[in-house]
Amino acid sequence: MPSSGIMNRVFSRVRNLDAYPKVNEDFYSRTLSGGVITLVSSIAMIFLVFSELGLYLQTVTETKLVVDTSRGEKLHINFDITFPAVSCTLLSLDAIDISGEQHLDIKHSVMKTRIDANGNEIQMRYDRMGTPKIGKPMQKHGGELEHNETYCGSCYGAEKSEDECCNSCEEVREAYRRKGWGLMNPDLIDQCKREGFVQRIKSEEGEGCKVHGSLEVNKVAGNFHFVKSFHLSNIHVGHEGQAFQEDGYNISHKINKLAFGVNYPGIVNPLDGVHWFQGIPNGMYQYFLKVVPTVYTPVRGPVIQSNQFSVTEHYKGPEKLGQRALPGVFFFYDLSAIKVYSQLQE
């Protein structure tokens, strides 16, 4: 059939098609320089192909700054700090903000690890008393606890109401903190005496403490600080026990981690790994932090709400501390009015 003949001729021409027709050997000659040029050109083309492919697959971060109009949010602070010369019992974490909200001797979501002089872990525990009690407890009315009688310990004048009971040394200390009183002699407090509170402090002499955990505070300017736990809550001066008033308070510390929010790829926390050694006791080390709210949007996955921060440092020696100043490590933070939006783009 004529049509089949036409198709055969078309297929025959396609099979004989040569985009690179061979040149007769009489018209060219092979040389070393030509081979080198061919090899170099091939390598260059392969390199360019892979370079362009890498640029195509590479993600680019686009950053945008806007005014932060958010209200009523909370600020999440994660910390991991080592104090090689302060025992865990004597270390207190407090938080205060400009709205007047105070959290003193914070224990919720805080873990303390006792360490020896070489930095080795001794014991890990949540910050609570929980030690074995010695002797019969004294009732609020003054007599010893009798058989089948419900225990209600005295708060030694710091009760919120007549029905309030303080059944442990920690509850007495908390009641005193609410009043802004100092616990001058723990041995005069029945609960503390039975729990061996003073003996425990003495047994931890020469130890250090690694404290880590988290805080949730109002998203306003404020500070959190690590200080000696024997202090008045209202004016932050004085100690709970006469036996501890003359002791030096060495605030040497190492910041293993400090972050305002969750980590995201590329974040830099400038205080991670910072170590400061104090030569003389009873100073005040201050960090001033500017916190910048940040929204990180990855190519795939959920949007991450976090914060970046910058920092400056200042140290006050004991000779510069006033009567009302308390030795310790203080972190003063303030919020930036600008929010950063960081988005990855392919």
For 180-218, the DSSP string reads T-----GGGSHHHHHTTHHHHHHHTTT-EEEEEEEEEEE
For position 129, what pLDDT does the model report? 41
Lowest mean per-residue pLDDT among 10-14, 70-74, 122-126, 273-277? 122-126
pTM given for the model: 0.71
CB 289 within 8 A of CB 309: yes
Average pLDDT of the residues in 209-232? 86
Predicted local distance difference test score (pLDDT) of residue 78? 96
Collapsing DSSP to helix, strand or coil, 96 comes out as: strand
Burial of 247 (0-12, 13-18, 19+ CB in 10 A): middle
Query: So what's the pLDDT on residue 271?
Result: 95
Length of the chain: 346
Q: What is the pLDDT of residue 77?
A: 96
Query: pLDDT band for position 241 (50/70/90)?
Result: very low
**Which pLDDT score is estimated for 15?**
65
Q: How confident is the model at residue 110 (pLDDT cuts 50, 70, 90)?
A: very high
More confident residue, 296 or 283: 296
Average pLDDT on 328-340 reads 95
For residue 131, the model assigns a pLDDT of 47
Cα–Cα distance for residue pair 261/298, rounded to 1 Å: 17
Query: Residue 138's pLDDT band (boundaries 50, 70, 90)?
Result: low
Confidence at residue 239, expressed as pLDDT on a 0 to 100 scale:
41
Q: What is the pLDDT of residue 237?
A: 36
Cα-Cα-Cα-Cα dihedral sign, residues 316, 317, 323, 327? positive
Q: If you ran DSSP here, which 8-state letter would residue 144 be given?
A: B
Contact yes or no for 316/286 (Cβ under 8 A): yes
Of 71-75, 136-140, 202-206, the least confident: 136-140
pLDDT of 220 > 90? The answer is yes
Which residues, other chains included, contact 265 with Cβ-Cβ below 8 Å and sequence gap of 6+? 296, 298
| Residue 174 banded pLDDT, cuts 50, 70, 90 | confident
Task: Give the CATH number of domain 56-122+208-345.
Answer: 2.60.470
Model pLDDT, residue 88: 87
CA–chain centroid gap for 338, Å, is 22
Q: Across the strands, what pairs with 301?
A: none
Q: Region 231-252: what's the mean pLDDT?
A: 51
Indicate whether 184 pLDDT > 80: no
Tokens, residue 39: 């090899």
Task: Give burial (CB, 10 Å; 0-12/13-18/19+) of 275.
Answer: exposed
Six-digit token string for 15: 């099979």
Q: Which of 194-208, 258-272, 276-290 has the largest mean confidence?
A: 258-272
Give mean pLDDT, residues 54-67: 82
pLDDT at 141: 57
- CATH 2.60.470 maps onto the chain at 56-122+208-345
Gap between the Cα atoms of 228 and 222, Å rounded: 19
Convert the pLDDT of each residue in 301-315 to its tens digit: 899 999 999 999 999
Sign of CA dihedral 276, 222, 182, 320: positive
